[in-house]
């Protein structure tokens, strides 16, 4: 919610697509650094209380940011100092998906059911993907109903409430599982062929999640440039809600057909659809046409996110899964920031048509990563992953 809320709020308040993209990208970069720090300190005994403290800091920072005077950042030269405070705010946005997976490991080991870890991770992958797309829809609705700054206030409140529930939940009584997160895993006992297959699978997933979030970041940047240039920033919340609604509908349909189509084949199909729909961003025919295009982009992006997370939950599960999840969190924040900055820069310094090429390029990389992962999976032992 926070990156979308910052983008909408500054675009509406400052009427500057560059300032909005820079602030939201700074927040995403801070989130990437926070995810990396959480992975490095995942096994410390005070991890739970550190998360609680971070959530309180996040709530305070987000609430304060919602009241910052932003019209002074309306020009390109004045937008540069925005990077620092929003980057610091992003440092307090801990990735709860990794924390939830660590909690699952503690619960299952405490109950003597470590063999159920893979099934739990598949379920958690689906939950994380659905939460992401529903968060986008909720952000857009809040921006329309209560104003853009309300998104940051709601994010502040939810962070504190959810973390309180997480800390006080009965599952927290289980001893903390000793599961070190290895960011760069190397199988010492595996053959060279197995190492190559594992390398292709892991990097295919990282390329895929990076390309997908670069596509979403570029689509958000295109919307900011389009809305600011045509003075229709008041409708940004509605368009973001449509983007999230389309992602939710697409994800629901993907879950319904999970027994008929494998996650890899569905990834290739929806990545192809995302590439075709991203091309439509270069020729919007008004606010209504742009809204329909964003709805279509979300419709294909949601299932793609679901397929990537589901595939990560079923391949490379022996020892390196949590490290893979941590790297995916880092790549998510960095790729979203990259898509936002590149698209907004092209739109501000050149024209909208140049900016619209960024989502197309990201969608091409998304399809290429899907084909790369499919190629690696065909040469790896084991069943094909499903949602």
Distance CA 168, CA 136 (A): 27
How many Cα neighbours within 13 Å face the side chain of 80? 3
Q: Alpha helix locations (H) across 230-351?
A: 236-256, 263-279, 287-312, 321-349
Could you count the other beta carbons within 10 Å of the beta carbon of residue 238?
17
Distance CA 11, CA 233 (A): 7
User: Integer distance in angstroms from the first to the last C-alpha of the chain?
Assistant: 24
> Cβ(313)–Cβ(118) under 8 Å?
yes
3-state DSSP percent of the chain in helix, strand and coil, to 5: 80, 0, 20
Q: What is the DSSP letter of 71?
A: G
Fold (topology level) of 2-173+190-378: Growth Hormone; Chain: A; (1.20.1250)
Structure tokens at 18: 């560059």
Q: Residue 40 contacts by C-beta under 8 Å, 6 or more apart in sequence?
A: 181
Please tell me the predicted confidence (pLDDT) of residue 214: 94
Structure tokens at 335: 């790729």
Is the pTM above the cut of 0.85? yes
Q: Residue 205 contacts by C-beta under 8 Å, 6 or more apart in sequence?
A: 308, 311, 312, 315, 324, 328, 373
Please tell me the predicted confidence (pLDDT) of residue 268: 94
Distance CA 234, CA 119 (A): 44
Please tell me the predicted confidence (pLDDT) of residue 207: 93
| Helix or strand (DSSP H, E) at 204 | helix 192-229
Local confidence pLDDT in tens for the 387 residues of the chain:
677 778 877 777 777 788 888 888 888 888 888 888 877 777 777 777 777 787 777 777 777 776 666 554 444 455 556 677 788 888 877 777 777 887 888 888 888 787 777 777 777 777 776 777 677 777 767 776 777 777 777 877 877 788 778 878 888 777 777 666 766 665 555 566 666 777 788 888 999 999 999 999 999 888 888 888 877 776 777 787 788 888 888 888 888 888 888 888 999 999 999 999 999 888 766 778 888 888 899 899 888 988 888 888 776 555 567 788 888 889 999 999 999 999 988 988 888 888 989 999 999 999 999 998 888 888 776 667 777
């Amino acid at each position: 919610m926070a990156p979308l809320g910052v983008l909408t709020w500054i675009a509406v308040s400052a009427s500057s697509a560059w300032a909005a993209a820079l602030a939201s990208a700074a927040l995403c970069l801070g989130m990437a650094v926070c995810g990396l720090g959480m992975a490095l300190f995942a096994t410390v005994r005070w991890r739970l209380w550190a998360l609680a403290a971070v959530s309180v800091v996040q709530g305070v920072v987000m609430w304060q940011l919602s009241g910052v005077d932003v019209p002074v950042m309306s020009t390109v030269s004045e937008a540069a100092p925005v990077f620092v405070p929003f980057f610091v705010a992003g440092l307090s946005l801990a990735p709860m998906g990794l924390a939830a997976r660590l909690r699952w490991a503690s619960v299952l080991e405490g109950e003597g059911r470590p063999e159920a870890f893979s099934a739990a991770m598949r379920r958690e992958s689906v939950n994380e993907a659905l939460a992401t797309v529903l968060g986008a829809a909720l952000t857009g609705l809040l921006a329309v109903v209560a104003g853009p700054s309300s998104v940051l206030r709601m994010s502040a409140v939810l962070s504190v409430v959810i973390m309180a529930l997480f800390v006080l939940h009965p599952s927290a009584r289980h001893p903390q599982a000793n599961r070190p997160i290895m960011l760069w895993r190397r199988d010492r006992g595996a053959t060279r062929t197995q190492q190559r297959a594992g390398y292709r699978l892991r990097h295919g997933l990282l390329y895929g999640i990076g390309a997908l979030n670069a596509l979403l970041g570029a689509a958000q940047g295109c919307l900011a440039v389009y809305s600011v240039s045509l003075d229709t920033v008041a409708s940004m919340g509605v368009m973001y809600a449509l983007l999230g609604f389309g992602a939710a509908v697409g994800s629901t349909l993907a879950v319904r057909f999970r027994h008929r189509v494998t996650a890899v084949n569905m990834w290739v199909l929806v990545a192809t659809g995302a590439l075709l729909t991203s091309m439509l961003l270069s020729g919007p025919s008004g606010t209504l046409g742009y809204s329909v295009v964003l709805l279509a982009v979300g419709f294909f992006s949601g299932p793609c996110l679901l397929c990537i997370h589901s595939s990560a939950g079923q391949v490379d599960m022996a020892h390196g899964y949590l490290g893979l999840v941590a790297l995916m969190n880092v790549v998510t924040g960095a790729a979203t920031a990259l898509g936002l900055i590149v698209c907004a820069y092209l739109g501000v310094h050149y024209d909208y048509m140049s900016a619209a090429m960024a989502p197309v390029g990201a969608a091409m990389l998304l399809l290429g990563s899907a084909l790369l992962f499919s190629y690696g999976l065909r040469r790896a032992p084991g069943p094909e992953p499903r949602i």
